[in-house]
Amino acid sequence: MRDIMLILHFIGLVMGLGTSFAHAFLGMAASKMSNDEATRFRMHALVLSRMGYIGITLLIISGLYLITPYWPILASTPLLILKLILVLLLVVLIILLSITAKKAKEGNTEAELKKMETIGKMTFIVGLIIIGLAVYVFH
């Protein structure tokens, strides 16, 4: 069962972090467009976020299973605690992205997309730090 969960965990990782990479590259493409074109393009690209939500869900479900052997020693592993805290921060950032995307669809699109860009960059950085900590802690 552990191997299946590990595979799901890596699939979730690819989907979640891949969404951040995709949005970053699509943002570079949008920066070469006129404001109206870029806004429409970014709004259509929001469909990729669904892939990120599925990825983070797979990560959390499989991660809860995979971390069960570590609960007894959690207090003695501060980097693992930091990783878990950053995962919670990542979930909060993803919720903020979702709320901001909904507001962008309802109106004031350009301002909300700008907020999403900032939150997206923070999400990407937090995700990379989580991966680095995971490699260090579980190596």
pTM: 0.87
Q: What share of the chain is helix, strand, coil (3-state, %, to 5)?
A: 95, 0, 5
Q: What is the radius of gyration, based on Cα positions, of the chain? A: 17
Instruction: Dig out the tokens for 88 from the structure.
Output: 């919670």
Q: How far apart are CA 28 and CA 97, in angstroms?
A: 19
Task: Indicate the burial class of 100 (C-beta count within 10 angstroms; 0-12, 13-18, 19 or more).
Answer: buried
- How would you write the pLDDT of the chain (139 residues) with one tens digit per residue? 989 999 999 999 999 888 888 888 888 888 898 988 988 888 888 888 889 899 999 999 999 999 999 999 999 999 999 999 999 999 999 999 899 989 988 888 888 888 988 888 899 999 999 999 999 998 8
> Distances in Å between the alpha carbon of 61 and those of 4, 5, 37?
12, 9, 38
Residue type, 95: I
